[in-house]
Amino acid sequence: MTTLGSAPMPLGAGAASSASAVRSPTLTSRHSALVRVTHWIITLCFFALLVSGVEILVSHPRFYWGETGNDLTIAWLKIPIPSSRDLVPTGYSNVLPDQNGWSRSLHFQAAWVVVLTGLLYAIFGFFTGHFRQNLAPGKGDLSWRNLSHEIAGHLRFKRLGDSEAWSYNALQRLAYLLVIFILFPLVIWTGLAMSPAFDSAFPATVTLLGGRQSARSIHFLVSLTLVVFLVMHIVMIYVAGFWSRTRAMITGRADRAMERT
């Protein structure tokens, strides 16, 4: 049994380099309870945000830079799909049903849950050493030699060695850090920048991004990047052993015998 915040770390997780992590010979806790709970809450919210975000996008599938943009101005991106509004010049004659009501409500409710859960995770991560031990790259991790070795291994879909089942390699660490500290903060920031009330209290939220429509465009691009991350994440889990990795994120347990399942 693990308890919040005091979950035993995998053996060797605190070592200088993730590549040198010592293996655990038996069942042990791979992910702490708080990491597991927040992981699945955020997973659920991510799908809610994705579905509702796509529905909102459908009501105006055009993107602009700067402060303003509408059907009469130049779009840098027009997504070739029909719209749920009849005035949008999409090139399609059919108009999709309006789903923005529930989509917007679901989007913001899920955003609240993601932000609060993410804050809990971030506080936990800083104070328990989760970020330092499990996600910060080790000394040798960022060497060109190590990175090129790992990239080459990934490109050949090489199964990970046993040591790597117990801690993250440099590419994983960099990917997770990018998602946690860059993409999620950026998607929240650009989301808030689209709120006219929030902007009235904190105008720099939107002006620093170059305007409302730039904020909307960046929100879309970051969301797209997060979807790419999600696809890669699932592919990598599949390569590493889908059930063992999924089980580890649910029960916290993983053993070496399960690695090949």
Partner 1 sequence: MTDLSRRKLILGGLAATAGVSGLGVAARIAEKHGLIPPDHGGIYGPGETLTYAAQRLLTRHSLAREFAPGQISKRPFANEIAPPSESFRQLQADGFVDWRVTIDGMIDRPTAFSLAQIKSYPRSSQITEVVCEEGWSYIAEWIGVRLSYVLGLVGVHPQARYVVYFSIDPNWWDSLDMAEAMHPQTFLSYGMNGNDIPVGTGGPLRMRVPRQLGYKSVKFITHLTVTDDLKKFGKGLGSVEPEAGYAWYAGI
Mask of contacts with partner 1, 215-244, x by CB under 8 A? -x----------------------------
* 146-151 contacts, C-beta under 8 A, 24 or more apart: 146/19, 146/170, 147/171
Q: Does 97 bind partner 1 (CB under 8 A)?
A: no
DSSP per position, 72-97: TS--SEE-SS--SSTTS--S-S--PP
Per the CB < 8 A criterion, the answer to whether 87 and 59 are in contact is no
Residues 6+ apart with CB under 8 A from 93: none
> What 3-state DSSP class applies to 261?
coil
Q: Least distance (Å) from partner 1 to the CB of residue 37?
A: 16
Alpha-carbon span 128 to 25, nearest angstrom? 24
Question: Which DSSP symbol is given to 179?
Answer: I
Instruction: Identify the residue among 15, 122, 194, 236 touching partner 1 (CB under 8 A).
Output: 194
91 versus 97: smaller Cβ distance to partner 1? 97
Instruction: Identify the residue among 105, 143, 148, 246 touching partner 1 (CB under 8 A).
Output: 105
Q: Does 256 bind partner 1 (CB under 8 A)?
A: no
Q: Least distance (Å) from partner 1 to the CB of residue 199?
A: 6
Give the binding site for partner 1 (CB under 8 A): 56-57, 59-60, 62, 67-73, 85, 87, 100-102, 104-106, 108-112, 194-203, 206-207, 212-213, 216
